[in-house]
Structure 1
């Protein structure tokens, strides 16, 4: 009788290792499952005794792409970078928003209670930054655009944010412009300067105003119906 023995590698799933959901860099949708190759002693081609671990890696359960275990660290770092970028963008957005709204409210020399309420509502939308935004608001309220501070905030926003985000900032500034029911010449000129600072055509000014007026009329009609 011949006894046939030898060794061969068998792939196993590491059950105690968490699956990295929807993380495959190749197909984007696949889950990365932690695997290991273990060498087994075989008898008559049947695995009998586990020997050493040859390799550990992650394998996509969809496209079967394989990655070194370091992929987990790379993916975690990427998520941290994404989170940090989002946090920075939110900060830049909020600062530019409050600075421009406050500047718009004081440019005509008449800081109306309606304008103050709009700015406070905007600040409340960023509770984690409230103290910092209140400081910006008070500074711009007293010093306006001293040392070009408001336009510095807008320039930072232009370099960090999308055009859509910039338009949202200016739309909010336009809400302040309309809050007291009248548009002064200084406010109109300033809004056009904001558009240019954000890399947007100043002709967009009238489009912004028309849309906001239309929105206000729609809300008034809804209130009347209710």
Structure 2
């Protein structure tokens, strides 16, 4: 039997480069401006380009990604104004994962606080927790839909950071149920991870791999 294998996949392409002030490095660094477009593939070969999914600036030193507005960044302005896109995404995903069962407990708050501190390289304050928790509750999108909307602004490092942050929250209570496993795999697909890459992360994190 003959099967035609086709689909759509996001592809990244550098469209500009130069120097900018990287908020994470705290100094001027080389950057690339990267556009993410959806491509139609036939037998995994890209044939034609679809719509643009988004653009991001990637620091060539620390590999953090930012909204393109960072190219206008004033070092004297508040650093958090241009907080790394993956930090923002990881924080929102962690809260939405914790709220998936309708409530959030102390162990999940502790895990989110610790994980965010490691990602953003700064402490997360109580007011920030309260504000983000309220924002996550008000955001009616599922975790999958939220990630699909922002995946075009993340590079591979950012995507892996978001996925591992979600896994850390799911594991915070000491057990991972089947519904959470399915949700994590949906999250990986929404991030446009190759299956083998995602399964490698799941195996390392001791999350069941779905067939």
Which is strand-richer, 1 or 2?
A: 2
